[in-house]
């Protein structure tokens, strides 16, 4: 969410930013916020004037009482009562207007970075840099669900009977591999100095509204019927919300945390749910990283975070590329974002496995996450997040890039301690 004063003083800049995100249907919000804000400021002036009058009249009442002029004092008391009633009405109107402004402000997108490429959707994201050698072996690579099935490692039919489309059973060595990459990713981030955390998997509605846009909430989140609780779509949600309404010490920044959680997503949209494989599903597990830092440090942390993703995937023999997200592909709270995409030798193309974002102070303003600087001022912090690893989707890239011609799977050296020392997964 943007600063209200910034919108008031820079309406054309905010409108231009909305246009760059191809959200012209939101342009009216800027003028509406400014008009409502003007009413609020008028009410403040009126309220301050009435409070000043009340103080003056109260002093006059005291003087009249000392002079034994009780009748005049009672008249003045009547005026104080009238002023109090007017103030109650003004404060109620001011409260309602502020709530309406906040509701509209939460639909206005964050300002994007000046160098974000302008594009309407993800087809216009920019392929910026490649890491590792994207190879295509001289043998046919089966579909990832078939690779898993060759190890008796997946059962989507049973999951369909039990839970419906978008769920899965993982078994045997494939299930163990799933857990191994999560454990490896956890220790990888701990070695980078991040604090490991297991967060709540359900959060209140005000926390949801603080960490994401209304559109994301509607398309992603499962609500617990009859309760003010939502299942998290990623642990970033509860990790950032952990610091809601907190004033942090500057000396404690940056806060760097890595978290494990299951994730639950409705996945409403044109892409739908994948019935056969595990690329787009309702439930998965994830290791996440988040950073809360001073504003001047957020861009350097953004670079560090996406580089961590590259390093981790290369250590698992998975080539990747960095794809810079264009303006139309940025969620409303994002200042900038990039996807780390893994190479699929079967499809001979890349697909998303990580998403790294700098949200500047957009989340922090919604959640009131501040720190006290050396001048004693309370300053909004900046928040960032990035996927460390998200199986079972990332297993697609892992299996394809580590598949041998005989159908076995090579286990990279870094992962072997988490697989009981196994160097290969052999077919049963």
Q: What is the pLDDT of residue 147?
A: 95
91 pLDDT more than 50: yes
Residue 414 exposure: Cα atoms within 13 Å on the Cβ side: 16
pLDDT band at 61 (very low <50, low <70, confident <90, very high): confident
Other Cβ atoms less than 10 A from the Cβ of 65: the count is 15
Residue 67 maps to a domain = yes
pLDDT band at 270 (very low <50, low <70, confident <90, very high): very low
> Do 97 and 150 fall within a single domain?
no
Q: What is the pLDDT of residues 272-302, one digit of tens each?
A: 556 678 888 888 999 999 999 999 999 999 9
DSSP character string of 225-272: TTSS-EE-SSHHHHHHHTTTT-EEEGGGPSEEEEEEEEEE----STT-
Residue 110 maps to a domain = no
209 pLDDT more than 80: yes
Q: What is the pLDDT of residues 224-269, one digit of tens each?
A: 999 999 999 999 999 999 999 999 999 999 999 999 999 998 875 5
215 pLDDT more than 90: no
CATH of the domain at 91: 1.10.287.40
Asked if 322 contacts 98 with a C-beta cutoff of 8 angstroms, the reply is no
> Do 172 and 81 fall within a single domain?
no
> Do 283 and 388 fall within a single domain?
yes
DSSP character string of 310-337: HHHHHHTT--EEEEEPPGGGS-TT-SEE
Which of 212-216, 348-352, 387-391, 401-405 comes out lowest in average pLDDT? 212-216
15 pLDDT more than 70: yes
Helix H or strand E encompassing 127: strand 126-131
Region 57-78 average pLDDT: 83
> Do 98 and 152 fall within a single domain?
no
> d(Cα 396, Cα 66) in Å, to the nearest integer?
87
> Do 91 and 131 fall within a single domain?
no
Q: What is the dihedral of CA 262, 265, 271, 272, to 10 degrees?
A: 100
Other Cβ atoms less than 10 A from the Cβ of 272: the count is 11
Q: Which residues contact 388 (CB under 8 A, 6 or more apart)?
A: 185, 186, 188, 189, 258, 286, 287, 288, 289, 308, 309, 312, 354
Q: What is the pLDDT of residues 113-129, one digit of tens each?
A: 999 999 999 999 999 99
Residue 60: give the domain boundaries.
4-105
Residue 9 maps to a domain = yes
Residue 113 maps to a domain = no
Which of 24-38, 42-56, 404-418 comes out lowest in average pLDDT? 42-56
68 pLDDT more than 50: yes
CATH of the domain at 408: 3.30.930.10
Q: What is the pLDDT of residues 177-197, one digit of tens each?
A: 999 999 999 999 999 999 999
> Do 284 and 384 fall within a single domain?
yes
> Do 81 and 198 fall within a single domain?
no
pLDDT band at 328 (very low <50, low <70, confident <90, very high): very high
Residue 197 maps to a domain = yes
353 pLDDT more than 50: yes
Structural domain ending residue among the three candidates 79, 105, 131: 105
271 pLDDT more than 60: no
> Do 128 and 92 fall within a single domain?
no
64 pLDDT more than 90: no
Residue 47 maps to a domain = yes
Region 81-96 average pLDDT: 93
Residue 356 maps to a domain = yes
Q: What is the mean pLDDT of the chain?
A: 93
> Do 360 and 212 fall within a single domain?
yes
Asked if 234 contacts 288 with a C-beta cutoff of 8 angstroms, the reply is yes
Backbone torsions φ then ψ of 405, nearest 5 degrees: -65, -30
> Do 69 and 164 fall within a single domain?
no
Q: What is the pLDDT of residues 367-414, one digit of tens each?
A: 999 999 999 999 999 999 999 999 998 999 999 999 999 999 999 999
Region 412-418 average pLDDT: 97
Q: What is the pLDDT of residues 313-325, one digit of tens each?
A: 999 999 999 999 9
Structural domain ending residue among the three candidates 73, 105, 137: 105
Q: What is the pLDDT of residue 145?
A: 92
Q: What is the pLDDT of residue 358?
A: 98
Counting the structural domains of the chain, the total is: 2
Q: What is the pLDDT of residue 34?
A: 97
157 pLDDT more than 80: yes
> Do 100 and 133 fall within a single domain?
no
> Do 54 and 146 fall within a single domain?
no
Residue 140: Cβ-neighbour burial (10 angstroms; 0-12, 13-18, 19+): exposed
């Amino acid at each position: 969410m943007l600063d209200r004063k910034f919108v008031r003083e820079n309406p054309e800049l905010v409108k231009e930013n909305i246009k760059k995100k191809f959200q012209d249907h939101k342009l009216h919000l800027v003028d509406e916020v400014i008009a409502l804000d003007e009413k609020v400021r008028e009410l403040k002036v009126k309220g301050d004037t009435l409070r000043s009058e009340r103080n003056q009249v109260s002093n006059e009442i005291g003087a009249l009482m000392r002079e034994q002029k009780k009748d005049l004092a009672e008249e003045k008391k009547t005026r104080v009562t009238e002023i109090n009633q007017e103030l109650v009405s003004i404060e109620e109107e001011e409260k309602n207007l502020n709530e309406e402004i906040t509701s509209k402000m939460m639909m206005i997108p964050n300002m994007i970075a000046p160098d974000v490429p302008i594009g309407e959707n993800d087809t216009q994201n920019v392929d910026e840099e490649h890491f590792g050698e994207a190879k295509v072996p001289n043998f046919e690579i089966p579909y990832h669900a078939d690779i898993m099935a060759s190890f008796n490692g997946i059962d989507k039919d049973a999951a369909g009977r039990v839970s419906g489309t978008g769920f899965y059973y993982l078994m045997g060595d494939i299930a163990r591999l799933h857990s191994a990459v999560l454990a490896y990713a956890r220790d990888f981030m701990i070695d980078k100095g991040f604090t490991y955390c297991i967060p709540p998997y359900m959060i209140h509605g005000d926390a949801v509204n603080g960490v994401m846009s209304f559109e994301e909430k509607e398309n992603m989140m499962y609500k617990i019927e009859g309760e003010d609780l939502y299942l998290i779509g990623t642990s970033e949600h509860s990790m950032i919300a952990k610091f809601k309404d907190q004033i942090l010490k500057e000396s404690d920044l940056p806060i760097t945390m890595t978290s494990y959680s299951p994730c639950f997503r409705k996945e409403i949209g044109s892409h739908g749910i994948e019935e056969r494989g595990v690329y787009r599903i309702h439930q998965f597990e994830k290791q996440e990283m988040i950073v809360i830092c001073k504003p001047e440090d957020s861009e350097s942390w953004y670079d560090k975070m996406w580089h961590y993703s590259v390093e981790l995937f290369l250590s698992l023999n998975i080539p990747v590329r960095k794809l810079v997200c264009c303006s139309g592909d940025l969620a409303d709270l994002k200042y900038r974002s990039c996807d780390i995409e893994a190479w699929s030798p079967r499809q001979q193309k890349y697909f998303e496995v990580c998403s790294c974002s700098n949200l500047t102070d957009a989340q922090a303003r919604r959640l009131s996450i501040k720190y006290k600087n050396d001048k004693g001022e309370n300053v909004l912090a900046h928040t960032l997040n990035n996927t460390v690893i998200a199986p079972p989707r990332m297993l697609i890239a892992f299996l394809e890039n580590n598949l041998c011609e005989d159908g076995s799977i090579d286990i990279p050296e870094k992962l072997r301690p988490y697989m009981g020392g196994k160097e290969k997964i052999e077919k049963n």
